[in-house]
């Protein structure tokens, strides 16, 4: 738990707008700096500060940290997916291991602020994070979010109710890439996309064998840098074939890969 006080909207907006202006991938996109979206970004920041008094939600709580490492980092890959036509009206997204709501909250808020109707099912095994996300989405009036508490490998198995229902999965900072792919690919329909937000590390080779078994092709890799200098890689796999029913395996098997 952390006791911090939220800065004013003006102070947060200054940190956020400065971060957008220093980001090659984000600057110049007026939708990111609209009053409506800046207001929503501030709302997310305020709720994180408030929620962190009651529960451990995230280590990043400074205005600049939230602006760069939660809001912008969630949205830069979204802008790319939009350009590629992968996110558009009506797409169903699953955010696996959403934590306190990243990338779910920025994505759903941004889409709503630009009139794009998408839906996000946000999944996490920690119930208090799911409660926080549900409350935050409700009180900020961010529509299209359905938050589910549970383990991905259980929800995604055949008969679990969520399998092969989504056009896109996102997962940020959840696990090593091979584990992320097995936890997420079963949620996606054939022809959809499985993506992962990662740090600088290049894990593509270690994931190649399991990606093929799960029915995935790719990846396409998008490299970007946050204004702080932090390097990120966003992986995009396409689901070319249905995932065999034996995946996802129980978590211990996914991790040991035996
Ligand atoms: N995506 C968020 C949270 C990252 S922390 C962010 O970027 O801020 C990783 C989260 O994944 C944790 O909240 C953890 O509870 C969740 N998680 C890890 N393995 C999971 C699994 N098998 N099923 C559901 N949630 C999982």
List of domains in the chain: 71-256 (3.40.50.150)
Partners of residue 148 on adjacent β-strands = 123
Residue 153 Cβ < 6 Å to ligand 1: yes
- The predicted pLDDT at position 34 comes to 97
> Which stretches of the chain score pLDDT less than 50?
none
- The predicted pLDDT at position 4 comes to 79
In this structure, which residue's CA is closest to atom 13 in ligand 1? 99
Yes or no: say if 170 and 237 are a contact pair by the CB < 8 Å rule. no
Measured in Å, residue 97 CA sits from the centre of ligand 1 at 3
- The predicted pLDDT at position 202 comes to 73
Q: Which ligand 1 atom is the nearest neighbour of the CA of 155?
A: 23
- The predicted pLDDT at position 27 comes to 95
Report the C-alpha gap between 113 and 33 in whole angstroms.
Answer: 11
- The predicted pLDDT at position 1 comes to 61
Report the C-alpha gap between 232 and 248 in whole angstroms.
Answer: 26
pLDDT in tens, 45-70: 999 999 999 888 888 889 999 999 99
Q: Which of 166, 224, 218, 164 is nearest to 198 (CA)?
A: 224
List, in sequence order, every beta strand (DSSP E) within 110-230: 119-124, 145-149, 166-170, 188-198, 216-225
Phi and psi for 163 in degrees, rounded to 5? -70, 135
Report the C-alpha gap between 236 and 19 in whole angstroms.
Answer: 25
- The predicted pLDDT at position 200 comes to 74
In this structure, which residue's CA is closest to atom 10 in ligand 1? 97
- The predicted pLDDT at position 2 comes to 66
Report the C-alpha gap between 232 and 105 in whole angstroms.
Answer: 19
């Amino acid at each position: 738990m952390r006791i911090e006080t939220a800065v004013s909207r003006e102070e947060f907006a200054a940190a956020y707008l400065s971060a957008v202006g220093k980001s090659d991938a984000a600057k110049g996109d007026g939708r990111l700096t609209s009053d409506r979206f800046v207001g929503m970004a501030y709302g997310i920041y305020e709720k994180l500060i408030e929620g962190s008094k009651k529960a451990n939600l995230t280590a990043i709580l400074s205005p600049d940290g939230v602006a760069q490492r939660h809001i912008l980092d969630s949205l830069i890959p979204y802008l790319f997916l939009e350009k590629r036509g992968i996110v558009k009206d009506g797409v169903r997204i699953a955010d696996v291991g959403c934590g306190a709501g990243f990338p779910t909250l920025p994505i759903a808020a941004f889409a709503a602020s630009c009139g794009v109707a998408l839906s996000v099912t946000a999944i996490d095994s920690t119930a208090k994070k799911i409660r926080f996300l549900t409350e935050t989405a409700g009180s900020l009036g961010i529509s299209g979010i359905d938050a589910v508490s549970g383990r991905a490998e259980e929800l995604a198995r055949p008969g679990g109710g969520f399998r092969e229902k989504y056009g896109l999965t996102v997962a940020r900072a959840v696990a090593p890439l091979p584990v992320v792919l097995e936890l997420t690919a079963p949620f996606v329909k054939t022809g959809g996309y499985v993506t992962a937000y990662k740090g600088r590390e290049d894990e593509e080779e270690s994931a190649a064998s399991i990606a093929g078994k799960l029915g995935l092709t790719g990846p396409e890799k998008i490299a970007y840098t946050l204004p702080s200098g932090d390097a990120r890689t966003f992986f995009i796999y396409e689901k070319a074939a249905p995932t065999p029913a034996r995946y996802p395996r129980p978590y211990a098997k996914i991790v040991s890969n035996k």
